[in-house]
Amino acid sequence: MKMAVVGVGHLGRIHAKIYSENPRASLVAVVDANPECAGAVAEEFGCQALTSAGDLPLDLDGVSIVVPTQAHAATAVPLLERGIPCLVEKPMAASLADADAILAAAEQGGAILSVGHVERFQPGVRKVREMGMQPRFIECHRLAPFSFRSMDVGVVHDLMIHDLDLILHMVDSEIESVDSAGGAILTEVEDMASVRIVFKNGARANISASRASLEPMRRFRMFSSEGYVSLDFQKNYGIYITRGPEWDTGRVALRTLDPIVLALRKDWIQEKVLKVTELELAGEQRPLQAELDAFLDCIETGQAPEVTGHDGRRALALAEQISTAIREQAW
């Protein structure tokens, strides 16, 4: 499949590298407004360098769009109208109007449209979906040091939107209410945000995001009547805790046992009273690699993307609601 990447900064170069190494793909061109950047990446991966997406070959099988968010619609719409499948990096667009224009172009051209919510492809997230867990409470922490990238959007659209998409993906319900707080620290837009979402089915989610932290953290925890899952995306580690085979008798004994005895019977608690399972995540594909493989699958088979344009718009609409509320009560 003949592939191209538009926008080959930090993330776009990784897209180009993955396509160049995939036996199903042939990276034919990279595009960047900076000719030196385009030239360097093209030379590295042995493809054509262009400075305008309008100069891309007509017979492309697919394109990754990794330009700044403000340019997503202007870049994606002409390609989609030509019927070229596109993977548009998150956030889908700079505004809901732009997102609607992208969706309309995809429909007009009959083109596949996928949105780059890469955390859907985390091994831990895939395992949890396979388990069929129905979350009643979700807690997310996504913290990062300031990177000087994605400064055209605030932390809600830059980082938190990953977790917003995951939550909307996990909870099968409409939203009842959203309570948002946050503010600017280092830039002109919000650099930290804290949000509480209540769903109509009673599920709740607390999300915090910051791009002004000293240490990175990407943790996602889900609680339900069946058990509890904790995922650490940073370490690619996850555990699942549920009732063990001796839950009914063990919990009665736990009420009367001396704390010193309890400390000595830790194995019994974790193996019998509770069942603590480490999720097998080692050896799984890296999320971006899995995402691009899934995009190639869609091109090859015509199947719907795992993250559709409508999914991207839904996450964007929620991010817009949150960031608007934060601006209205800005520090």
Domains of the chain: 2-119+288-307 (3.40.50.720), 120-243+274-286+319-328 (3.30.360.10)
Identity at 172, one-letter amino acid code: D
pLDDT of residue 240: 94
Q: How confident is the model at residue 150 (pLDDT cuts 50, 70, 90)?
A: low
Q: What is the reported pLDDT for 272?
A: 82
Q: What is the pLDDT of residue 197?
A: 98
132 by DSSP, 3-state: which?
Answer: coil
Instruction: Calculate mean pLDDT across residues 59-78.
Output: 97
pLDDT of residue 149: 65
> What are 78-114's pLDDT values in tens digits?
999 999 999 999 999 999 999 999 999 999 999 999 9
pLDDT of res. 248: 83
pTM attached to this predicted model: 0.90
Which has the minimum average pLDDT: 3-7, 187-191, 217-221? 187-191
Tell me the mean pLDDT in the region 203-227: 94
Identify the DSSP state of 226. S
**Digit-coded pLDDT (tens) for 248-268:** 887 777 777 777 777 777 788
For residue 61, name the pLDDT band (cuts at 50, 70, 90): very high
How would residue 151 be classed by pLDDT, with cut points 50, 70 and 90?
A: low
Contacts of 188 (CB under 8 A, 6+ apart): none
Which single residue is written with the structure tokens 């805790």? 241
The yes-or-no verdict on residue 152 having pLDDT over 80 is no
Per-residue pLDDT, 259: 77
Indicate the range of 207-211, 270-274, 321-325 predicted with least confidence: 270-274
- Given the structure tokens 């999720």, which residue do they identify? 279
Residue 114: name the closest of 164, 53, 65, 160 by CA. 65
Separation in Å, CA 318 to CA 91, 125, 158: 11, 21, 13
Assigned token pair, 73? 């619609």
* Token pair listed for 311: 């999914």
- Give pLDDT, residue 265: 78
Q: What is the DSSP string of 279-324?
A: ---TTPPPHHHHHHHHHHHHHHH-PPPSSBHHHHHHHHHHHHHHHH
* pLDDT above 80 (res 284): no
The answer to whether the peptide bond before residue 305 is cis (omega within 30 degrees of 0) is no
Q: 48 to each of 87, 203, 209, how far by Cα in Å?
A: 20, 50, 38
148 pLDDT band (50/70/90 cuts)? low
State the chain's mean pLDDT as an integer. Answer: 93
The whole-number average pLDDT for the span 19-33 is 97
Assess whether pLDDT exceeds 80 at residue 238.
yes
